[in-house]
Amino acid sequence: MSNSTKSFFRQANDASELLIASVRRFQFTVVALGFLVLPISPISAVNAEPNHSQAKVRSAIERSIPYLEEKGMEWIRDKKCVSCHRVGNMVWSLTEARSIGFKTSEKLDDWIEWSLTASLKKNEKGEVVGLGNKEGVAQLILGLDDLAAKKRRDLLDLLKQEQEPNGSWKPGGQLPTQKRLPGETREASTMWIALALQNHAPSAFEKALHHLDEPLGKSTEWIALKLLIARQTKNSLSRKRFARLLIEKQNKDGGWGWLTSEQSDALGTGIALYALRLADSESNLTSMLKAQEFLLSNQKKDGSWDVRSTKGKKREFIEETSSYWGTAWAILGLIKGLKNPDRESSQKN
């Protein structure tokens, strides 16, 4: 073989190796890029949703705000009651909506101030009103990021003084009559209050954790709270367990009932969606979008959702209070699909 021929083959071989190396680099780049986009962050999960879907979510929230305001204001005006687990839902949901740019009533700050003052005043029996509405007090703490230091401290003291020796809190108001076992209701109340206390009273929070030994609950709320507690305590195993359990309990229509055995409603779906958005937003996007679609498809013209009563004796009937709770929670769940996680308060992290 001549020297020129040998040179030609050497050049051809070098070119071939160069081409193969280039292809391999290209394949590695594609794989690497593919790997990088697989884990969907909370922001990219939201961005992965179609723009028209986001527009529908915003429209649903906008329609619900007047309903929440009107019915909440009527409750304050006519009932003058802050201990019926109504006002806390109103304040939390409307404050969250306002925090990301939705237009709310100019009277919202007045309603907030009324709810705080009413919770801390004494009734005709000399008892602090908020003691009968501890879960509602917890909602005020969780929902108001800019709560004045003294008011926050007074509310926290109210909750801490009512903690039982075993770390739990007794459920207040109508909650003991709910259609689930009393132990599950007590544990749900304990978890809500513990979440409100964690960043401000860590010893009370830790004490509450020792009480959380109830067997598997029957309500979506209980599972969602377990997920939120796991998130707060950075317990990755429990977090995965309860996120998986919540997804397993999701109905075919994309929603959850407040009890896992019941048909879907806005109360169970809103609480589940809220918990998943906060604690498991990097996975199960499909399940969250199905839940979102369930809510969008079942909203009434007045902006509310019908929800059957959570009370044992009225479990088969649509009830106004349960529907109000469901509407507030539907909004909280939907908002978490729009909100930038970087703007979440330290209380909810």
- Of residues 190, 185, 233, the one with CA closest to residue 211: 190
Q: What is the pLDDT of residue 49?
A: 58
Q: Which residue segment(s) compose the domain that 7 sits in?
A: 1-38
Q: Is 274 exposed, middle or buried (0-12, 13-18, 19+ CB in 10 A)?
A: buried
Tens digit of each residue's pLDDT (9 = 90 or more) over 210-226: 888 768 899 999 999 99
Q: What is the pLDDT of residue 43?
A: 39
SS3 content of the chain, % helix, strand, coil (to 5): 65, 5, 30
Let me know whether 117 and 212 are in one domain: yes
Mean residue pLDDT across the chain = 84
Let me know whether 33 and 72 are in one domain: no
Tens digit of each residue's pLDDT (9 = 90 or more) over 287-301: 999 999 999 999 999
Residue 271 near residue 224, CB atoms below 8 Å: yes
Let me know whether 157 and 28 are in one domain: no
Q: Is 244 exposed, middle or buried (0-12, 13-18, 19+ CB in 10 A)?
A: middle
Phi/psi for 259 (5° steps) reads: -95, 140
Let me know whether 33 and 49 are in one domain: no
Let me know whether 4 and 134 are in one domain: no
84 or 333: whose pLDDT is higher?
333
Residue 58 near residue 297, CB atoms below 8 Å: no
Here the CATH number for the domain that contains residue 308 is 1.50.10.20
Beta bridge mates, 219: 259
Mean pLDDT over 32-53 rounds to 45
Say how many domains are in the chain.
Answer: 2
Let me know whether 21 and 104 are in one domain: no
Let me know whether 24 and 145 are in one domain: no
31 or 322: whose pLDDT is higher?
322
Let me know whether 168 and 258 are in one domain: yes
Let me know whether 174 and 242 are in one domain: yes
pLDDT above 70 (res 193): yes
Element of type H or E holding 121: none
Let me know whether 20 and 43 are in one domain: no
Q: What is the pLDDT of residue 40?
A: 34
Let me know whether 62 and 185 are in one domain: yes
Let me know whether 77 and 191 are in one domain: yes
Tens digit of each residue's pLDDT (9 = 90 or more) over 54-81: 899 999 999 999 999 999 999 898 888 8
Residue 187 near residue 222, CB atoms below 8 Å: yes
Q: What is the pLDDT of residue 48?
A: 52
pLDDT above 80 (res 28): no
Q: What is the largest CA-CA distance in the chain?
A: 113
Q: What is the pLDDT of residue 62?
A: 98
The two tokens of residue 52 are 């028209």
- CA dist., res. 261 & res. 269, Å (int): 13
